[in-house]
């Protein structure tokens, strides 16, 4: 089942990261301008993540069966080699941020560039926050991997959008060139190394209720009874 | 039984979720429910029947995602008529004691429209029309446009439906927990736009459970004169013991929805997570409930991309600055297609406190229809204020209204037969409030009574088109007081009469009154006070005028529309008249020689101080030739920062800020030049290639090129190869810059290069963008690769030097 994670607030802004995305290569530039922009810019951010979890099929060194599609990618195979499940997610800062950036670019391309850098830092922070939330729930995760990384085909985007219903869930869309709108968005997948992932994914895939060992301490109804 | 008749005195019960039931029947994750119309028709028919048996009057066909972006047309030909047939067959099997209707279901395309995505508005309209026409073949009773989370796409779908059929169209939007659509519109904005375009019912579905949607529903009920619909989810989903469950039970759902029916909702059903059990429970709760009578709200309202603006309460300020009349610099911007300049006029008026913006781009020799349409779309991308479309060309008005996102203010119609015949049909079709000038074939009546008579004639004629008085605003025309002494009193009297006798709102172009007089703001602001006192609802004015804005804020304070005068205090604190600089300091400034000023200008540019650079350039123009100002002071400053950037001792944004400061100095110089001297350098055509919607890198290249004196023809983003070629040919541009972000758009870049090389061999193509490298650029046939914006400037300089 597709779920939505929409935190009321994002983690604090990491200014060093913002400057790095803006092109700082050790010049230690002034942050006055970006600090002046930030309060209004942050008001235009509405971070949302939609995600689902899938039991992995066969993982060979060349390809991974994600359940909804088979991906030919050595790097993804090695990432998911020890995982039983994959979390697939789409994250976005929302369209208001694009609007604000478009408006700002008409007034000051320099400010727009700072917003671009801030937005990049923020979307990564949202992804980190989402991962953190899953970890807090006790899941052991691999690092995240996006279509276009390494040898993971960008065309995988189409499949991710299909199974995540991103446009309906969080207003994230994909165009024919495989570009995402709103522009400050990320799609990615992560391997889940633990069995607790059963809690996250839907009944249609079986789950531990189907097991005959009814007195198991990890059986979900037993855990819930405690 | 006819749907409209049944709705007059019954609550209309829709169906519940589709996906929920089909997943239970075996639909896989990521599989399209629409394909089941062909592969599992019995399951679909059974689902519809189960809703009818649970009490639904209406079921929605299984066509939510059945459109050309998801299916081939040949597939749609089978799916959509088949889906309507299955619903019809289910209706025939259902217990005949209730009327059974079939709604052709239309969901969103899943793509974002321009300017934030790349789906063209007209293409979206065509996509919806294809689906709707196929559905109409099997005779549904209504069109149900649902789960729309973008106001613009909603407009495209409703327009498509209205251009295909006279059947009732229900329009339902999906709101976030902030009571806004994904693209920013609130319930009031959606209400006015959809009412204006002829929807039969409006409301909300999906996203949240019934209680969470209560605030959205209340706002609909408060704003809408149409029946309001509600089709919420069964709350929020979660996984429990490996099963997906929703947190609102059928009984709680039914009680909550029924409660909103008591508040005035007339059409109800369920969305995600709801099943026949929910509809059955709801049907039970609705027994014996009478629909609350509809009330005509009778408000004069327009809307932009996010919110509505009401006339008749607090006076509405309509910024007048987007207009070439009497403005040399604005005319130049229009001729040079300098959209940034025009948009900045809009943004600065919004920042100055305008509630709306007037948009007039009429200039002899310009294709007004094309320019107005483009300006409206571009403005709506950067400003959420409602717009007043100001043109006397019906073609321009029609095209701008069609593309307008919201309910526009139409400026204007007069009592002339020809004018009314041209404009009222447009207003009827696209919605809108219209400014009615109280003049006709006999000119402007000299008396207030005469203007009232014209107003009454316009009201009558509008009624013949089905346009309600609430959508008319009368402008009793402010004439120049210097040529006719009673100009102000006749206008004010006409205004009062029109308000009293027709009940309609009024507006005025306030500034006309003072033509030919000195210190026009004095006359304007006093006349503004008088007009406000006489009940003026909207004023077309200059929000940058301190006198006018102070008058406005003072009026609000004096008429009880400004709590504790807080806004007045805030305004005056921010806008205290600036004390004149001490005379001595001024004299000292004047005595500075040009060399000192020049080095200060260079410093200002190197430090990226925009205002200071503009001011210094202005001062220096008194004793310095514009061209030497550029070559001796601005260019050396830019070169200094450019070199530091290339040596990696300067941070990119600092380079950009310097370019902006240089731009401010150029702007001043440009204003001072009598005529634009021929460009120093050859023109540079710049574009982000087709399919690519990222323009930040391209904008930076443009900024730097312009600051180095290259005239740039910026074609924007997502530009087809033919358009690039056309611009190169028209401007005989020797240089063309193309940007692409991703590997998927590089083929479009390659196509563009090939076309330009073939048809415009004189043009050198420079490419750049995240995925490009020198070898990649070579592979696709580019003449040059620019690793960053500064590199692009260097290539342009080199090419220019070779040519010279």
Environment class of residue B229 by beta-carbon count within 10 Å: exposed (0-12), middle (13-18) or buried (19+)? buried
CB A150 within 8 A of CB A163: no
Check B182 against A94: CB less than 8 A apart.
yes
Distance (Å, rounded) from C-alpha B639 to C-alpha B652?
14
Check A181 against B651: CB less than 8 A apart.
no
Distance (Å, rounded) from C-alpha B318 to C-alpha B330?
18
Chain A residues close to B384, C-beta within 8 Å:
99
Quote the pLDDT of residue A200. 54
CA torsion through residues B662, B667, B668, B672, sign: positive
- The CATH architecture assigned to B684-803 reads 3-Layer(aba) Sandwich (3.40)
Quote the pLDDT of residue B743. 85
Candidates B728, B694, B725; CA nearest to B713 is B728
Check B118 against A175: CB less than 8 A apart.
yes
Contacts of B504 (CB under 8 A, 6+ apart): B300, B455, B459, B469, B470, B472, B473, B474, B498
Quote the pLDDT of residue A30. 82
Q: Is the pLDDT of residue A221 over 60?
A: no
Quote the pLDDT of residue B316. 98
For B314-519+535-541, CATH number? 3.20.20.20
CB B240 within 8 A of CB B196: no
Check A110 against B608: CB less than 8 A apart.
yes
Residues 169-198 of A with CB under 8 A from B: 170-171, 173-179, 181-183, 198
* Omega before B168 within 30 of 0, i.e. cis: no
Chain A residues close to B178, C-beta within 8 Å:
46
Q: Is the pLDDT of residue A218 over 50?
A: no
Check A179 against B693: CB less than 8 A apart.
yes
Quote the pLDDT of residue B192. 97
Distance (Å, rounded) from C-alpha B804 to C-alpha B799?
9
> CA angle at residue B501 from B495 to B503, to 5 degrees?
80
Q: For chain A, which residues make up each domain, given as ranges?
A: 3-225
Q: Is the pLDDT of residue A195 over 90?
A: no
Residue B744 has its nearest CB partner, among A102, A178, A198, at A178
Q: What is the end-to-end Cα distance of chain A in Å, rounded?
A: 25
Quote the pLDDT of residue A199. 53
pLDDT along chain B (804 residues), means of 10: 90 93 87 95 97 97 96 97 98 93 97 91 98 97 97 98 97 95 96 97 95 97 98 88 85 97 98 96 95 95 97 96 92 90 94 97 94 96 96 97 98 96 97 97 96 97 97 96 92 96 95 91 94 95 94 95 92 74 55 74 90 90 84 89 89 90 87 59 90 88 89 92 95 94 90 96 94 92 94 92 80
Residue A1 has its nearest CB partner, among B147, B237, B694, at B237
Question: Could you check whether B3-19+37-286 and B314-519+535-541 share the same CATH topology?
Answer: yes
Q: Which CATH class is domain A3-225?
A: alpha beta
Higher pLDDT among residues B772 and A30, named by residue: B772
Torsion, Cα B213 B216 B222 B226, to 10 degrees, reads -80
Chain A contact for B654 (CB, 8 A cutoff): yes
* The domain defined by B3-19+37-286 carries CATH number 3.20.20.330: yes
CB B670 within 8 A of CB A41: no
Residues B450-480 as b or e (16 or more Cβ within 10 Å = b)? bbbbbbebbbebbeeeebeebbbbbbbbbbe
Q: Which residue has the tokens 């040519």?
A: B803
Residue A102 has its nearest CB partner, among B238, B382, B742, at B382
Distance (Å, rounded) from C-alpha B98 to C-alpha B771?
62
- The CATH architecture assigned to B583-672 reads Orthogonal Bundle (1.10)
Distance (Å, rounded) from C-alpha B227 to C-alpha B748?
48
Chain B contact for A94 (CB, 8 A cutoff): yes
Quote the pLDDT of residue A207. 43
Average pLDDT over residues A79-94: 94
Quote the pLDDT of residue B581. 52
For A197-217, what is each residue's pLDDT tens digit?
555 543 333 344 544 555 554
DSSP B632: I
Instruction: Please give the distance of CA B288 from its chain centroid, rounded to a whole number.
Output: 44
Average pLDDT over residues A21-47: 90
Residues 196-235 of B with CB under 8 A from A: 206
Distance (Å, rounded) from C-alpha A222 to C-alpha A209?
10
Check A179 against B742: CB less than 8 A apart.
yes
Here the ipTM equals: 0.86
Q: For chain B, which residues make up each domain, given as ranges?
A: 3-19+37-286, 314-519+535-541, 583-672, 684-803
DSSP A157: H
Q: How confident is the prediction for chain A on average, in pLDDT?
A: 86
Q: Which residue has the tokens 């009193």?
A: B489
Check A23 against B744: CB less than 8 A apart.
no
Quote the pLDDT of residue A205. 34
CB B95 within 8 A of CB B53: yes
Chain A contact for B644 (CB, 8 A cutoff): no
């Amino acid at each position: 089942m597709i779920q939505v994670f929409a935190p009321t607030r994002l983690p604090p802004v990491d200014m060093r990261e913002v400057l790095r995305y803006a092109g700082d290569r050790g010049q230690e530039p002034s942050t006055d301008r970006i600090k002046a922009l930030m309060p209004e810019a942050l008001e235009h951010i509405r971070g949302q993540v939609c995600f689902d979890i899938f039991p992995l099929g066969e993982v060979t060194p060349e390809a991974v069966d994600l359940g909804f599609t088979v991906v030919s990618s050595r790097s993804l195979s090695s990432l998911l080699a020890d995982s039983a499940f994959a979390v697939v997610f789409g994250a976005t800062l929302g369209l208001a941020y694009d609007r604000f950036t478009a408006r700002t670019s008409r007034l000051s391309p320099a400010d727009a560039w700072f917003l671009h850098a801030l937005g990049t830092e923020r979307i990564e922070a949202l992804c980190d926050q989402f991962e953190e939330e899953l970890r807090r729930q006790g899941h052991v995760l691999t690092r995240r991997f996006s279509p276009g990384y390494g040898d993971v085909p960008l065309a995988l985007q189409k499949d991710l959008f299909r199974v995540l219903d991103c446009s309906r869930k969080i207003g994230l869309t994909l165009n024919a060139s495989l570009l995402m709108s709103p522009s400050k968005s990320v799609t990615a997948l992560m391997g889940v190394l633990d069995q607790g992932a059963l809690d996250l994914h839907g009944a249609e895939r079986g789950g531990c209720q189907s097991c005959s060992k009814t007195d198991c301490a990890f059986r979900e109804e037993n855990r819930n009874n405690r | 039984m006819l749907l409209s008749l049944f709705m007059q005195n019954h609550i209309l019960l829709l169906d519940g979720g589709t996906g929920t039931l089909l997943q239970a029947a075996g639909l896989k994750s990521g599989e399209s429910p629409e394909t089941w119309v062909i592969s599992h028709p019995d399951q679909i028919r059974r689902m519809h029947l189960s809703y009818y048996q649970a009490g639904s009057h209406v079921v929605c066909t299984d066509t939510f995602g059945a459109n050309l972006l998801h299916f081939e047309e040949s597939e749609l030909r089978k799916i959509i008529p088949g889906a309507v047939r299955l619903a019809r067959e289910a209706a025939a099997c259902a217990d005949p004691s209730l009327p059974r209707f079939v709604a052709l279901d239309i969901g969103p395309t899943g793509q974002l429209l321009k300017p934030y995505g790349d789906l063209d508005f007209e293409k979206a309209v065509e996509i919806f029309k294809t689906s709707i026409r196929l559905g109409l073949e099997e005779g549904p009773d209504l069109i149900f446009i649902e789960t729309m989370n973008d106001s613009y796409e909603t407009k495209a779908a409703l327009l498509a439906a209205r251009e295909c059929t006279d059947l009732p169209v229900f329009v339902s939007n999906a709101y976030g927990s902030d009571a806004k659509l994904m693209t920013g519109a609130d319930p009031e904005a959606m209400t006015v736009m959809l009412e204006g375009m002829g929807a039969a019912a409006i409301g909300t579905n999906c996203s949240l459970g019934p209680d969470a949607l209560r605030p959205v529903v209340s706002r609909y009920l408060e704003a809408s004169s149409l029946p309001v619909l509600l089709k919420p989810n069964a709350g929020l989903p979660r996984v429990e013991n490996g099963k997906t469950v929703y947190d609102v039970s059928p009984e709680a759902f039914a009680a909550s929805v029924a409660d909103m029916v008591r508040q005035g909702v007339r059409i109800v059903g369920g969305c995600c997570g709801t099943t026949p059990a929910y509809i059955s429970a709801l049907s039970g709760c609705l027994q014996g409930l009478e629909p609350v009578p509809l009330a005509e709200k009778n408000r004069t309202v327009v809307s932009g991309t996010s919110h509505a603006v009401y006339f008749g309460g607090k006076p509405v300020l309509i910024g007048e600055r987007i207009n070439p009349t009497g403005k040399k610099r604005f005319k130049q911007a229009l001729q040079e297609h300098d959209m940034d300049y025009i948009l900045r006029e809009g943004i600065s008026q919004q920042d100055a406190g305008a509630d709306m913006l007037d948009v007039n781009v009429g200039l002899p020799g310009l294709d007004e229809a094309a320019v107005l349409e483009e300006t409206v779309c571009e403005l709506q991308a950067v400003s959420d204020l409602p717009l007043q479309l100001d043109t006397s060309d019906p073609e321009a008005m029609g095209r701008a209204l069609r593309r307008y996102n919201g309910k526009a203010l139409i400026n204007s119609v007069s009592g002339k037969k020809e004018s009314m015949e041209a404009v009222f049909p447009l207003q009827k079709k696209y919605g809108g409030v219209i400014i009615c000038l109280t003049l006709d074939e006999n000119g402007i009546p000299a008396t207030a009574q005469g203007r009232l008579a014209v107003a009454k004639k316009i009201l009558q004629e509008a009624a013949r088109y089905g346009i309600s008085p609430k959508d008319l605003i009368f402008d009793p025309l402010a004439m120049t007081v210097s040529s006719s002494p009673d100009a102000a009193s006749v206008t004010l009297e006409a205004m009062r009469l029109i308000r009293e006798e027709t009940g309609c709102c009024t507006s005025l172009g306030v500034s006309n009154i003072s033509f030919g007089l000195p210190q026009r703001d004095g006359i304007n602001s006093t006349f503004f006070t008088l007009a406000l006192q006489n009940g003026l609802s909207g004023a077309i004015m200059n929000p940058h005028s301190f006198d006018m804005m102070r008058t406005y804020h003072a009026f609000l304070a004096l008429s009880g529309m400004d709590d504790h005068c807080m806004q007045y205090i805030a305004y005056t604190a921010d806008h205290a008249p600036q004390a004149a600089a001490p005379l001595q300091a001024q004299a000292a400034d004047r005595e500075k020689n040009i060399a000192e000023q020049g080095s200060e200008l260079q410093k200002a540019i190197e430090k990226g101080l925009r205002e200071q650079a503009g001011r210094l350039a202005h001062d220096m123009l008194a004793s310095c030739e514009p061209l030497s100002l550029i070559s001796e002071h601005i260019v050396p400053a830019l070169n200094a920062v450019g070199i530091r950037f290339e040596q990696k001792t300067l941070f990119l944004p600092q380079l950009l800020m310097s370019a902006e400061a240089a731009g401010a100095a150029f702007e001043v110089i440009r204003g001072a030049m009598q005529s634009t001297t021929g460009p120093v350098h050859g023109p540079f055509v710049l574009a982000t290639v087709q399919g690519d919607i990222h323009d930040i890198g391209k904008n930076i290249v443009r900024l730097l090129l312009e600051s180095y004196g290259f005239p740039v023809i910026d074609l924007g983003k997502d530009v087809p190869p033919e358009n690039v070629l056309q611009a190169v040919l028209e401007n005989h541009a020797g240089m063309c810059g193309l940007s692409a972000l991703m590997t998927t758009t590089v083929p479009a870049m390659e196509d563009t290069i090939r076309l330009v090389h073939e048809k415009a061999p004189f043009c050198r193509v420079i490419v750049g963008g995240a995925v490009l490298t020198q070898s990649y650029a070579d592979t696709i046939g580019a003449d040059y690769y620019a690793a960053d914006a500064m590199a692009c400037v260097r290539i342009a300089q080199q090419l220019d030097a070779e040519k010279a």
